[in-house]
Structure 1
Amino acid sequence: MSRLTIYRDDTPDGTLLDTENPREIAETLQPFGIRFERWEAPVTPEKDAAPQDILEAYRPYLDGLMGETGAGSADVVRFDRHTPGIGAMREKYLSEHTHSEDEVRFFVHGQGAFVMHLDGRVFSVLCTQGDLISVPAGTPHWFDAGVSPDVVALRVFTDTTGWVAEYTGDEIARRFPVTIPDVAA
């Protein structure tokens, strides 16, 4: 289940908002230019489906999104606990950073948390299967899919060079660790 939790940035103990309501999540994030949507495809592709089959299942949504944003391409990314270098990859994304392009992800399978540092608060958005999130260029954030990730996601982009992380040097991500629920539980 998707979840938005907001904290004051000076303490992870003070929860300001905690909701699983997708509409409330979208409305809360919208003033910051963060897009959050639930996509319901007629058929959810199998986790090991070919990338082209996954793209085709979501084609109507992708075409609409790319038309609105000017993005020119989409691809499929998969990673799990067996992905070579997954520990180093996770560590890299656990540091607060920005990008020069919007970071747009749609979760086909699995889950992960996008955490943004905005306006003196920390916004932790747990995205699950069926969630689309678009974090605007220049927004300080970090990402975590947990110690045992199992994610299949669509990435939407104009230019992949915009994906290069520019680290802020702020240690805030260390003060606000994300708890990713165990899907097997």
Structure 2
Amino acid sequence: MTLLITWPESGPQTVVRRTSEPAEIAAALAPLRVRYEQWPVRHDVPADADGDTVLAAYRSEIDRLNEEEGFVTVDVVSLHPETAPDWPARARAAREKFLDEHTHDDDDEVRFFVAGAGIFYLHATGEVHAVYCEKGDLLGVPKGTTHWFDMGTRPSFTAIRFFHEEDGWIGSFTGSGISSRFPDFDTIHAGLTAEREA
């Protein structure tokens, strides 16, 4: 279940918005120029599929987005406990790279989730918007938007990444400790799992 939770930037004591309705999520993010879409899920693509298989499966959607946005590089990133060598160290390093608030000066951050889940936290207009993305979700964070990303302490996801610049992911960190003040991926994921099982 995709989920958007919005809090004041002062902290998570008050929930401004909480919705799992895709249309409401897209409408809430549109004023921030954040692109949110849901693509048809290819159930015949395994979670641990190689990059070529993933790109072939979503070729029509990728081509459409490339035509609209002019991306020059598209690749696949995958991190799963079952297949990653040196799993604990690799997972910790991968998570820590994205966990502090940052911006991108030269490119948007656009991801489509083929499998698994992750949360983008968008810090804008005096609020923090946590967007829990899972299989089938595409999120595009415009360059210059302060944000962070959490994949949890046990990351498991496959995502297609889109870049306008060949250099790929380059973050400019703000030095703010804001990300430590809000519920992390594990907390939100556990709450969603409990809701699904209730």
Judge same fold: TM > 0.5, yes or no. yes
Q: Given the superposition, is the C-alpha separation of residues 92 and 41 from structure 1 closer, same or farther in structure 2, using an over 3 Å criterion?
A: closer
Indicate yes or no: 2:186 matched with 1:176: no
Name the SS for the 2:47 alignment partner: coil
Q: Secondary structure at the match of 2:158?
A: strand
Does structure 1 residue 92 correspond to structure 2 residue 132?
no
- 2:167 is aligned to 161
Q: Which residue of 1 aligns with 2:129?
A: 123
Counterpart secondary structure, 2:60: helix
Give the equivalent residue in structure 2 for 1:5.
5
Q: Is the 8 A contact 1:4 1:17 kept in 2?
A: yes
Report sequence identity in percent: 42
User: Which residue of structure 2 lines up, in the alignment, with residue 147 of structure 1?
Assistant: 153
TM-score, normalised to structure 2's length?
A: 0.87
Q: Structure 2 CA distance, aligned partners of 1:53 and 1:163?
A: 23
TM-score (norm 1): 0.93
Contact 2:99/2:148 (<8 A) preserved: yes
What is the CA–CA distance in structure 2 between the aligned matches of 1:25 and 1:14, rounded to whole Å? 18
1:36 offset after TM fit, Å?
0.5
Give the letter for the 2:96 counterpart.
E
Which has the larger share of helix?
Answer: 2
Where in structure 2 are there 5+ consecutive unaligned residues? none
Which residue matches 2:116?
110
SS in 2 for 1:71: coil
Deviates more, 1:12-21 or 1:82-91: 82-91
Looking at structure 2, the residues matched to 50 and 112 of structure 1 have their Cα atoms a distance apart, in angstroms, of 20
Of 108-117 and 39-48, more deviation after overlay is shown by: 39-48
SS across alignment from 1:89:
helix
Distance 1:77 1:24, change over 3 A: same
- Whether 1:70 and 2:70 are equivalent positions in the alignment is yes
| Contact 1:90–1:144, Cα closer than 8 Å, also in 2 | yes
Contact residue 5 and residue 18 of structure 2 kept, 8 A: yes
Q: Distance in 1 between matches of 2:174 and 2:140?
A: 20
SS of residue matched to 1:15: coil
Cα pair 1:146 1:180 within 8 Å, conserved: no
CA-atom RMSD in angstroms: 1.7
Deviates most, 127-136 or 172-181: 172-181
1:90-126 CA distance string (max 9 Å, x none): 1221100011210000000000000010010000000
